[in-house]
Chain A
């Protein structure tokens, strides 16, 4: 079991990088092919950057479009981020002070993540939405399972955290240690491995697109009001 999960971990890791590289190759090739021409006027990049940060931190665009969904989505993404921060204690030695400080919030974020996810899934299924992305549901379901198994471990089936840390650090250092005991840890870890190669790409690309959208908004007034 230990060997299988460790092998899957490295495969998932490799799959993620292969996928990212294939996308990067496509982007870079397009950049090489792009015809040169008069470039658009710069659209207040610093202002655009600041506004993009607000857009990204507060999910402004989603807020403008769908407030109930915004509530769930923003809570979920924020909680997910804090949970990831909390998990960094397994990857770093010594554990930085800021990560230590985030731990109590991380526990709360764990609950928030599960509830907000359930709320988002409920909202998407209960309300009449015109477009359904089954791929999104699979990913949301997977994240919910990760979240649920994490909470089960936190409350009912705690693994040996020292073993967990040695295992995770061993994986990162390419010197795998034995898998910690506990069914729910194995399950939790397995779901994470399933998610890694299928991480939605908007996590990496949306910030850039949001920044470009802001710059475009600032430039719009210059298109016909320039000189």
Chain B
């Protein structure tokens, strides 16, 4: 109620469930045939078996929400009541998803679900229903510390950064470590830096207090308010260092940087974004980086969802691994665009940890079944969760990040290890 006692009325557009969605996404919601084929590929379905949290059911329920605010009855009589429990159940379903996009990849119509689910989350945030659990603290934590893990900036690089690698004050190439790598998957980012050092091209980095979150955790949980600010800060900082190529190994960071930073920055970025495997594969091809030591092992590479389906990086990691003398590269049954989520995606891994562990174990089990010696990952979230999934699991395999592995190969030669 307002001060003068008049009933406060939201503008019709504010009540609508369609406010945050693009025309294409609304058409996609209409285009779902409800065939249910996507359920065969949904990793959450594999571990929960609950069709109520499936892609077609989420779309069906969201259609009901749209009907309640934009249907004929709503237009004639005003927005219809929606059961609170239905809204809450839907919110939980949309956050339990790992947003891996496998449903969209196999959609019989071609709905871009890897983008649709985050936008539905955003709508639930706008309504005060999402995000769920500790995800709600992300804006505050990132605002205060610059990262989603509530860790100090001084802990960002110091514990893992190799002493002998030189970082230039200014350079055309910059490396962004990313929060998950820097705080939760340190062997991975250490590997990145060691490999960059071995290539020998000058590269720069932002000081720990300036290398803030790329915005992905906020984006993926539907909390978009801070994104413009974070993106502007980071872009300005890299621009000031004369950066022309920004390297990063985290698929989620790379995804938001290449796909969404220009939207939040409101113009083209002044530098290009590259995944570290692109840079390293090119360096190996040009001879700037040569792996001399042999590795007579069978490696199986897992495609991170946001790297393969997200931005189309599939061949470069394989080129890097094939560049290791003696190594045999195996493939998961579902690989590249078809890859199966390891459970770490969509900011669901800490809220729905049991699901994520189960999914991670599916990945481990297949790698073991294929008699791989090493399970090679290239995502810090995958790295953290699949390692966690291995604890207490009867199937065991060595998990290694792609750059961690490469760095070991380089270090072995440098130190003269046979």
Chain A residues close to B by CB (< 8 Å): 18-19, 22-23, 25-31, 33-35, 37-38, 55, 59, 61-62, 64-66, 69, 129-133, 135-136, 200-202, 204-206, 208-210, 212-214, 216, 220-221, 223-227
Contact = CB atoms under 8 A, between A and B. Distances in A.
A212 B23 CA distance: 12
Given A37-B266, A221-B312, A224-B274, 9 more contacts: A29-B16, A30-B18, A37-B263, A133-B35, A136-B34, A208-B27, A213-B107, A223-B259, A224-B312
B6 interface: no
A131 B57 contact: yes
B75 A212 contact: no
Interface residues of B, number: 57
Given A26-B26, A38-B267, A209 B70 contact: no
Interface string B302-319: 000000000111000000
Contacts of B263: 35, 37-38
Interface string B26-52: 111011111111011000010001010
A27 B26 contact: yes
B70 A130 contact: no
Interface stretch (B109-117, B142-150, B192-200, B342-350): B109-117
A50 to B, nearest CB: 15
Given A38-B268, A62-B108, A200-B33, A29 B51 contact: no
B268 A206 contact: no
Interface in B217-251: none
Given A26-B66, A201-B30, A130 B108 contact: no
Contacts of B40: 65, 130
Interface in B256-306: 258-259, 262-263, 266-268, 272-275, 278
B91 to A, nearest CB: 20
B312 A209 contact: no
A195 B258 CA distance: 45
B111 A209 contact: yes
B151 interface: no
A27 B18 CA distance: 9
A30 B110 contact: no
Contacts of B54: 130-131
B313 A224 contact: yes
